[in-house]
Amino acid sequence: MRHAHGLRPADADRLLWRLADATAGLAGHSLYRTIVSVLATTLDTTFVALTFRPPETRSTEGGAPVAIHARPDGSPSVEPVPTILGVPGTIVHDGAVHPCLSHLCTLHPRPGDPPAADLRVVPILDEDGTPLGEIAVFFATPAPSPQVIEVVAIFARRAAGDMRHARTEAELSRLAMTDPLTGIANRRAFTGAADREVRRARRFRDSLSAMIVDIDHFKQINDRAGHAVGDQVLHRFAEGMTRTLRSIDVLGRIGGEEFALLLPGTPLPGAVQTADRIRAMARTIPLPPATGLDALTISVGVAELHPADASAEAMLGRADAAMYRAKRNGRDRTVVADAPDACPPIGVS
């Protein structure tokens, strides 16, 4: 049943009960689809859109917004919202102006849509007033009543609670996979990435190389200059490696001063060249005189995936053994891992 703008309190209560019943146990896209569907089919509308940014976007400043929208006679649809000339709109709520996430004129009206007599945009706000999204309702008749707008606002608050929960979950997931000191992948995240990259390399018969990197004399840095200096060295070294590597490479901290790298599509010679670039970068990181070291140096073990490697762990184990040989042979060097057998590496004929 579609209601005109003069929504009676009893009608509003029934609509809200319908929302509660329809959205019980729903979250994310399923919840948002239901919200726009209920609004589009119940109120006197021509078009309803709920616009938001995905929960993995940590700020409303970045990331493409997504619109879930519905017309009274159709099921909800999902599509990205294109930016028009890169100029955001605004919405006014409680006397304050907020950034407007969407550019809804790209979605409505479209050929065949009935004309809209009124447009009201209700922001979806975080607890601190930060805009998380919006619900835009195109009405078939002008001047919707305050009761109608309040119903839309209640729907917006329901969506806001879900978005806050989704963002919290995404942040917790990110933190669980990130080394807190350096901001790169931790051991758990790196191990998962290594398993995926080995499967990909074997499926496409592509090269894959791995490195284990250990900072030389790191205990001396901590003992003589203090742990705060040691932490700073680790952070700067991780930053330097991130700048040196490609976007497709995977970097993780797997121990105190030990790092691991994956180089997809890179055969052994290219991996050795990358290791040498990282060693050169390490020497540019300044060390205080108290450390007693002239320069920061590293020992690197490099291995390329072979058919005889039973797993990513096997390849990384060979790289780790090569790193320890670099340590024994005088540090500040790159050592190539022994092959598990005489088989040629994957991707090389």
pLDDT of residue 107 exceeding 70, the answer is no
124 and 194 belong to one structural domain: no
Task: State the average pLDDT for the chain.
Answer: 81
pLDDT digits (tens, 9 = 90+) for 228-254: 999 999 999 999 999 999 999 999 999
Domain assignment of residue 113, given as a range: 9-176
Our count of domains for the chain comes to 2
- Cα dist from 201 to 196, 249, 251, 275, 348, whole Å: 9, 13, 17, 21, 12
42 and 72 belong to one structural domain: yes
159 and 201 belong to one structural domain: no
> Given this model, what pLDDT does residue 91 score?
37
31 and 93 belong to one structural domain: yes
The answer as to whether 182 is a domain residue is no
Q: Give the residue among 264, 267, 117, 244 at the shortest CA–CA distance from 201.
A: 264
- Residue 328 CB: number of other CB atoms within 10 A? 9
Mean pLDDT of 90-118: 52
Rounded (10°) CA dihedral 78, 82, 84, 90: 50
The answer as to whether 203 is a domain residue is yes
pLDDT digits (tens, 9 = 90+) for 68-87: 878 787 667 765 544 332 33
> Given this model, what pLDDT does residue 291 score?
94
Show Cβ contacts of residue 28 under 8 Å, excluding neighbours closer than 6 positions.
55, 162, 166
Instruction: Band the pLDDT of 88: cuts 50, 70, 90.
Output: very low
Q: Give the residue among 302, 306, 305 at the shortest CA–CA distance from 335.
A: 302
Mean pLDDT of 138-150: 83
Percent of the chain whose pLDDT exceeds 70? 79
153 and 15 belong to one structural domain: yes
Chosen domain end from 107, 142, 176: 176
What residues pair up with 68 in beta bridges, in sequence order?
A: 50, 78
Structure tokens at 236: 């700067």
> Given this model, what pLDDT does residue 97 score?
38
191 and 154 belong to one structural domain: no
- Residue 6 CB: number of other CB atoms within 10 A? 11
